[in-house]
């Protein structure tokens, strides 16, 4: 359940940026793959997001059939229709304003929001059509990062590299398969490599398809509400 919870939070953060880009509502299919220690977890879901109230309904198709509702206030509710139960969680950590991906899809793609949280541009380099920038963290984040590197191609971010306080590369994120819609340009594949101690790693890949925006996005799932009499789980 924790994996689905974190995945939903990531997707919600991504979609929340659309409200600054003329996107009133969006629906899509999502396929996620996570690989760790030779074990693979596949998740399929349908997403329904409205920017007016910042509300995302995630209908999981497999391997579970739960329904998750997330708001822009950091509220998350997971509803099990078969058991008629709901699990709720809330934290400012899930707020869209606290995550880099929010800035990516809200059009602030030059620094992915790094400048706003105190990072300073330290170096800019050019290799063919690629632009590489290096960012140093504020004093309050030196215990987490020594630097973050971004690579842009045709003004779009294609790579982000995160280095810990010991200058070790601990995360790579690749943004690929960009699609141009009338209201927004977005990557339909996001691949993330997380490097753990002991030469271990976790690879996550999210793919989006069947994307419909504004007038084309029509479904009763946009209005889904969790029943008030559902049993609340601790």
| pLDDT surpassing 60 at residue 197 | yes
User: What whole-number distance in Å separates Cα of residue 161 and Cα of residue 96?
Assistant: 21
Quote the distance between the C-alpha of residue 134 and its chain's center.
22
Look up the pTM and report it.
0.78
- For the ranges 2-11, 87-96, 97-106, 151-160, the lowest mean pLDDT is seen at 97-106
pLDDT at 213 over 50: yes
- pLDDT score of 93: 54
Which has the closest alpha carbon to 73: 88, 54, 57, 59?
A: 54
Separation CA 14–CA 9 (nearest Å): 9
Tell me the pLDDT of the chain averaged across its residues: 84
pLDDT band at 14 (very low <50, low <70, confident <90, very high): low
pLDDT at 234: 81
Report the C-alpha gap between 228 and 117 in whole angstroms.
38
Rounded CA-CA distance 125/27 in Å is 38
pLDDT bracket for residue 67 (50, 70, 90) = very high
User: In the predicted model, what is the mean pLDDT of residues 177-197?
Assistant: 85
Q: Give residue 98's pLDDT.
A: 43
- CATH code of the domain in which 175 resides: 2.50.20
17-31, 57-71, 136-150: range with highest mean pLDDT: 136-150
45 contact partners, CB below 8 Å, separation of at least 6: 29, 30, 32, 58, 59, 60, 61
| Burial (CB count <10 Å: 0-12, 13-18, 19+), residue 33 | middle
Please, are residues 205 and 33 in contact by the beta-carbon 8 Å criterion?
yes
Which range is least confidently modeled, 46-50, 98-102, 146-150? 98-102
Q: Is the distance from CB of 114 to CB of 108 less than 8 angstroms?
A: no
125 neighbors 132 (Cβ within 8 angstroms): yes
Q: CB 229: neighbour CB atoms within 10 A?
A: 7
pLDDT at 51 over 80: no
Indicate whether 99 pLDDT > 70.
no
Question: How does pLDDT run across 157-175, given as a tens digit for each residue?
Answer: 999 999 999 999 999 999 9
Instruction: Please report which confidence band the pLDDT of residue 189 belongs to, taking 50, 70 and 90 as the band edges.
Output: very high
Task: Give the model's pLDDT for residue 34.
Answer: 92
Which is more confidently placed, 23 or 175? 175
pLDDT at position 100 is: 45
Return the closest-CA partner of residue 13 out of 24, 5, 2.
5
Q: With a cut of 70, say whether residue 16 has pLDDT above it.
A: no
- Give the phi and the psi of residue 98 in degrees, each rounded to 5: -105, 10
pLDDT at 91 over 90: no
Neighbouring residues of 187: CB distance < 8 A, sequence distance ≥ 6: 175, 176, 177, 178, 179
Q: Based on the structure, what is the number of domains in the chain?
A: 1
Give the domain extent around 169: 2-233
């Amino acid at each position: 359940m924790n994996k689905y919870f974190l995945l939903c939070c990531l997707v919600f953060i991504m979609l929340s940026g659309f409200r600054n880009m003329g996107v009133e509502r969006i629906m899509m299919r999502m396929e996620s793959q996570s690989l760790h220690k030779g074990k693979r977890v596949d998740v399929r879901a349908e997403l329904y997001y409205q920017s007016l109230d910042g509300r995302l309904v995630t209908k999981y198709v497999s391997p579970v059939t739960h329904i998750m509702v997330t708001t822009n206030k950091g509220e998350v509710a997971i509803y099990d229709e078969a058991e008629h139960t709901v699990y709720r969680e809330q934290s400012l950590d899930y707020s869209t304003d606290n995550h880099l991906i929010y800035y990516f899809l809200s059009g602030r793609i030059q620094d992915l929001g790094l400048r706003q949280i105190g990072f300073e541009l330290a170096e800019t380099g050019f290799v063919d059509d690629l632009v590489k920038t290096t960012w140093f963290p504020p004093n309050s984040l030196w215990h987490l990062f020594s630097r973050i590197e971004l690579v842009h191609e045709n003004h779009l971010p294609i790579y982000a590299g995160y280095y810990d306080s010991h200058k070790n590369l601990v995360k790579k994120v690749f943004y690929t398969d960009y699609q141009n819609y009338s209201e927004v340009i977005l990557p339909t594949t996001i691949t993330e490599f997380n490097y753990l101690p002991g030469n271990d790693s976790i690879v996550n890949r999210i793919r989006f398809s069947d994307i419909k925006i504004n007038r084309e996005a029509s479904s009763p799932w946009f209005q889904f509400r969790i029943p008030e009499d559902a049993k609340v789980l601790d």
